[in-house]
Every structure is written in structure tokens, then in C-alpha cells.
Structure 1
């Protein structure tokens, strides 16, 4: 949506990225940006913020690349937004 497009145009905002490779094109970059935007939107809700503060809720951002049949999990570290590839070993919990 509009906020994600605005974020893409902001040269001061670090762009979300994939670990190990650059986004294939502007559409993929917009998809990654949208995941970050949606998490921020959820965190802005009072009930969500309270649950996060209490530790009763965790939010996770995921990007699924259909062509690769590959999921990427958002690892938020300070200002950097990196989507790490989800491997089969990560699922064996």
C-alpha cells in the first residue's frame, strides 16, 4: 500500500533485505517492505502493545517466495531488517 511505497522512496530508511541475495526486483523489495510495515501497524494497536510488553505475544514477519518454494523469516536487529532463509533444520523443534 501507500505507506510501503513511501518507505521505499525514503533514502534515509534502511531497506529490508534478504540474507544471501539482493531482492530480485522492485516488486520483491515492496513485498519485504510491506511485511515490516504490517508488523509496525500491529505494534501500534494498544492491545497488541500491551501483550508484547507482558510477553504474552510474539510477532514474526515471514515472506514466502512462491517460485523458490522458500520461506524467509524476518530477523529484526536494531535498525536492520534482514529476512533469513528458513531451512528444514529450523523447523525441527
Structure 2
């Protein structure tokens, strides 16, 4: 009996945690859309290099794409796909 209660409790915690994470992701996307809207409406643009660590920018400037990807992922904790998108945006600027 004790194990079944424990299992139900763990499943409930996982469900609640998943729901909270989903809600946070939704709020994050909503804030991103609002910021994009405000930037577009005010005719402002965000510099592509904003928030990119200096080591990553140095690697991009030196032409080392793989090192830039690795450093960006280490510094920001981004996924490979997200890091690739950022580095691809920075690449023509060098």
C-alpha cells in the first residue's frame, strides 16, 4: 500500500512540474513576441551581437565556426540548433 501511494505522489509531482515548465515556456514566448512587437513598432533593431559572449565573437571573427559553436553552447547552455542559428546570423557580419 505504501508503494502505491508513493508512486501516485511521484506521478503527481511529475505532472505538476511538467505543467509549470510548460506555463513558463509559454510566458517566455509571449514576452519574446511582445519585445519583438515593441522593437518593430518603434523602428528599433537589436544588434545581432547583443548578449553573445566576447570569446564567441572572437572565434567568429577568426573564422572558426566550430569553436564558436562550442563556446556559445558552453557559455549559454543553448542547444546545438539554437547555437547554430546564432552563429549563422553572426557569420556574414565578420
Compare relative contact order (CA 8 Å, sep 6+) and give the higher one, 1 or 2: 1
* Structure with max Cα Rg: 2
Greater fraction helix? 2
**Where is the strand percentage greater, Structure 1 or Structure 2?**
1
- Same fold at TM > 0.5: no
TM-score by length of 1: 0.30
